[in-house]
Amino acid sequence: IEEILKTAFDNLEFESAKAIIKEESFASLDELAAVLVKKPEWTLVIAGHTDNQGAAQSNLILSKRRAEAVKKYLEDKGANADKLVVEYYGETKPIADNKTKEGRQKNRRVEMTIKFD
């Protein structure tokens, strides 16, 4: 399950500056959705993040929209909507240096964490 979650996280890509999930992300999200359908009691926390390019408020909104896009995708695949929790942080929780292209890429992410209830 951790491997499926990691694969979904690693493969999750969005259209630039949009909340549209790229097609190459679908297979790993489908695997994650299948696990969640089998384990409807589990909660999935979906947390959106951005880099620091652009206005902070716009980044906060984008991080929310991206996390919500993942939630909707998983719901549409049968995951329990009540157990999908959206959080969003914009540019406030970087994991890498925003001064480099590579760092900004790492900061543009949607993290997913399963809570076993």
Tens digit of pLDDT per residue, the chain (117 long)? Answer: 788 888 888 889 998 889 999 999 999 999 999 999 999 999 999 999 999 999 999 999 999 999 999 999 999 999 999 999 999 999 999 999 999 999 999 999 999 999 986
Pairing state between β 43-49 and 84-88: parallel
46 token code pair: 């979906």
The pTM of the full predicted model, rounded to 2 decimals, is 0.92
Give me the sign of the Cα torsion angle 53, 57, 58, 59.
positive
